[in-house]
């Protein structure tokens, strides 16, 4: 059967997008989803996202990691899916959609997609790291010389280590550039490698840097290998609300897969 797909990227975090409003896509075929995401034998992507109808909202987001398994929230994916929904004519410049972690709002202005993320009510600060959940779980460590840091080896050791058990965690390494700017590199669970950018990851980093006092700003720039993202938020009694992930989301190409 022929499959129409669209390839999107948001700061280099890339996704195969499928309009599944007719529910024709086989969601249980993990091997097929992993195959479509394979960079040598398939289309190639960090994840695959289905856009589906929802009775109460503009659309529903269903997200799979490159390993073919459905996973928790993808921030860059949510931004790209909002751009895809606009391209399909499902929305204009604003969206309210449901994802695995709940309701999201998105606003699109000149190719920049701002996505409201879940409130973060709990931050776990330890001596060497911070852990928080921004829709997906994120371990955060500050390091020196991030450019030459072995993200894959060190990230994999933490992801599969004792701290996070069977479920594992995404792992972010951070270097402070200035009061409101941080460089971030992320090892992504389900891709099992470093990706060029991770939306829930940079969101977690911005909040963590505020929480541990590395910044007092509530608009933070995160520099990833795939480009810059911004995160804004309000602070209420040690919790983070009104959290927005802001950055570009671009159609790369569309195609048909046999
Ligand atoms: N790239 C994503 C994160 C996707 C989910 C993650 N790999 C997981 O399984 O936890 C993002 O932009 O947030």
**Per the residue annotation, which of 33, 74, 132, 151 is the catalytic one?**
74
Q: Tell me if 4 is assigned to a ligand binding site.
A: no
pLDDT at 238: 87
* pLDDT beneath 70: ranges in the chain: none
Atom number in ligand 1 closest to CA 137: 10
80 is a catalytic site residue: no
User: Complex ipTM, two decimals?
Assistant: 0.97
pLDDT at 258: 81
Structure tokens at 46: 């960090």
Cα distances (Å, whole numbers) of residue 153 to 13, 115, 171, 186, 258? 20, 31, 11, 12, 36
Q: Tell me if 189 is assigned to a ligand binding site.
A: yes
pLDDT at 1: 76
pLDDT at 96: 98
Q: What's the rounded Cα separation, in Å, for the pair 83 and 17?
A: 11
Atom number in ligand 1 closest to CA 198: 12
Task: For a ligand 1 pocket test, name from 16, 79, 135, 136 the mutation site with the most ligand atoms within 8 angstroms of its C-beta.
Answer: 136
pLDDT at 118: 98
Whether the predicted model's global pTM rises above the 0.90 cut: yes
Element (H, E) at 137: strand 137-142
* Structural domains of the chain ordered from first start: 3-107+249-257 (3.10.310.10), 124-248 (3.10.310.10)
Q: Tell me if 199 is assigned to a ligand binding site.
A: yes
**Which residues 6+ apart lie within 8 Å of 59 measured at CB?**
51, 52, 53, 81, 85, 90, 91, 95, 97, 98
**Per the residue annotation, which of 117, 151, 198, 205 is the catalytic one?**
198
Q: What's the rounded Cα separation, in Å, for the pair 247 and 10?
A: 7
Q: What's the rounded Cα separation, in Å, for the pair 238 and 42?
A: 45
């Amino acid at each position: 059967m022929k499959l129409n797909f669209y390839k999107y990227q948001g700061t280099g975090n890339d996704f195969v997008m499928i309009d599944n409003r007719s529910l024709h896509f086989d969601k249980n075929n993990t091997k097929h989803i992993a195959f479509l995401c394979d960079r040598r034998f398939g289309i190639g992507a960090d994840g695959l996202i289905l856009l589906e109808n929802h009775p109460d909202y503009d659309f529903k987001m269903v997200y799979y990691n490159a390993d073919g398994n459905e996973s928790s929230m993808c921030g860059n994916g949510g931004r790209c899916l909002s751009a895809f929904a606009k391209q399909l004519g499902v929305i204009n410049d604003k969206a309210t959609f449901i994802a695995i972690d709940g309701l999201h709002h998105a606003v699109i202005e000149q190719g920049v997609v701002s996505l409201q993320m879940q409130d973060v009510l709990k931050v776990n600060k330890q001596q060497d790291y911070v852990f928080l959940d921004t829709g997906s779980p994120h371990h955060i460590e500050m390091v020196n010389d991030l450019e030459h840091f072995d993200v894959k080896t060190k990230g994999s050791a933490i992801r599969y280590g004792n701290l996070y058990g069977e479920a594992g965690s995404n792992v972010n390494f951070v270097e402070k550039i200035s009061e409101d700017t941080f460089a971030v590199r992320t090892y992504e669970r389900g891709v099992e490698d470093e990706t060029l950018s991770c939306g829930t990851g940079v969101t977690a980093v911005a909040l963590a840097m505020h929480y541990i006092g590395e910044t007092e700003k509530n608009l933070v720039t995160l520099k990833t290998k795939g480009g810059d993202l911004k995160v804004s938020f309000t602070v209420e009694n040690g919790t983070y609300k009104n959290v927005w992930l802001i950055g570009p989301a671009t159609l790369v190409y569309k195609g048909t897969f046999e």
